[in-house]
Amino acid sequence: MSCPHTATGAPAAPAPAGLSRTPLHRRRRPRTRPPRSSPPGAAPRSPPTFRSGWRCCRPGVFQRGPSYVVTWRDRGKLRSRAFRTLTEAKRFKARTDAGDTRPDSREPFNAYAQRWLGAYAGRTARGITDNTRATYRDAITRFAVPIFGTTRIEHIDPPLVREYIADLAGKGMAPSSVRRHFAPVRALLATAYDDGLLTRNPAAGVRVIVRDTRPARPKRLTPEQTTALLERMPAKHADMTCFLAATGVRISEALGARWGDLGAALHGQPVFRVRRAATKTEPVSGATALPRSPRTWATPMAAHWR
């Protein structure tokens, strides 16, 4: 019987020394360098974050279907976040590489709003009063929570903030009322940004532009209306009301008036000069005069009521 490895049937000659009879496609390439290992005392290497079905775009950024996922470590915990575009993913990855690894808050708006209302102390040294806190609570409960609801704080963006402003305007509110109800939401988002719960303040730069479609109405009484009001008013309030209507000053400036503030102009018309204003610091302590910048009002209606 002939041997399949030789044509003559003789046994195959042994391979020369230093040569192998293993086919080339089955040979293993010798290792040219020792395996990489962590230096002594260093933390173990992180396990690969590449998952099945993900395509690597750059280190730490992977494509998962139509979205892009960024992976990073925060205090030893592996975290990930998805973005709609590769540009957003790269921008966020650069932020994590710079050391800002804290994730955004996932707390819903309604839960954070209740916690914020109980702890908010204002953004200035003056703080806020109980009446202001009650006004903020009413605005957030009645108008903001139905719009934002359970939306995560991190998902609130400027378009959603403008949607809230449009909803207030759609209720027929005046521009001043829209600004008053938007103020607590703006303060809430600013506090969340200052506390590090947000990487950006979505309310920063958002302007309240509301067209006032209400018909213009006069904001002062005519002389005839003022005279009719004084005729039906108790005598103890008539003098102060007449003085306010004649000069147009604030009630605090009227309470701080003195006889020396009244004078006559060149044409003999009565003139009132504002030099101070009265403020009530406590319910029993009375009024305290505060200096004001000098201002002058002529009183042309005084002669009509004299």
CATH of 109-194, one of 1.10.150, 3.40.50, 1.25.40, 3.10.450: 1.10.150
**Contact indicator for 237, 252 with CB cutoff of 8 Å:** no
- CATH 1.10.150 residue ranges in the chain? 109-194
How many Å apart are CA 220 and CA 297, to the nearest integer?
16
How many Å apart are CA 245 and CA 258, to the nearest integer?
17
**Average pLDDT for residues 107-134, to the nearest whole number?**
89
Confidence of residue 290 (pLDDT cuts 50, 70, 90): very low
**Average pLDDT for residues 276-305, to the nearest whole number?**
48
Phi-psi region of 130 (alpha: psi -120 to 50; beta: other; left: phi over 0): alpha
Structure tokens at 171: 């209720």
Confidence of residue 28 (pLDDT cuts 50, 70, 90): low
Confidence of residue 71 (pLDDT cuts 50, 70, 90): confident
- 189-215: per-residue pLDDT in tens? 999 888 878 878 899 888 888 887 767
How many Å apart are CA 120 and CA 107, to the nearest integer?
17
How many Å apart are CA 294 and CA 280, to the nearest integer?
21
State the sign of the Cα–Cα–Cα–Cα dihedral 162, 165, 167, 170: negative
The packing angle between helices 109-119 and 175-194, to 10°, is 90
Residue 276: its pLDDT value, please? 73
Q: Which of 6-15, 113-122, 281-290 has the lowest mean pLDDT?
A: 281-290
Residue carrying structure tokens 């009265």:
278
State yes or no: pLDDT of 301 exceeds 50.
Answer: no
Helix or strand run (H / E) with residue 119: helix 109-119
- What average pLDDT does the structure give for the chain? 75
Beta bridge mates, 254: none
**Average pLDDT for residues 136-149, to the nearest whole number?**
93
**Contact indicator for 278, 261 with CB cutoff of 8 Å:** no
Q: Bigger pLDDT: 192 or 101?
A: 192
**Contact indicator for 229, 238 with CB cutoff of 8 Å:** no
| Secondary structure (H, E, C), 179-237 | HHHHHHHHHHHHHHHHCCCCCCCCCCCCCCCCCCCCCCCCCCCCHHHHHHHHHCCCHHH
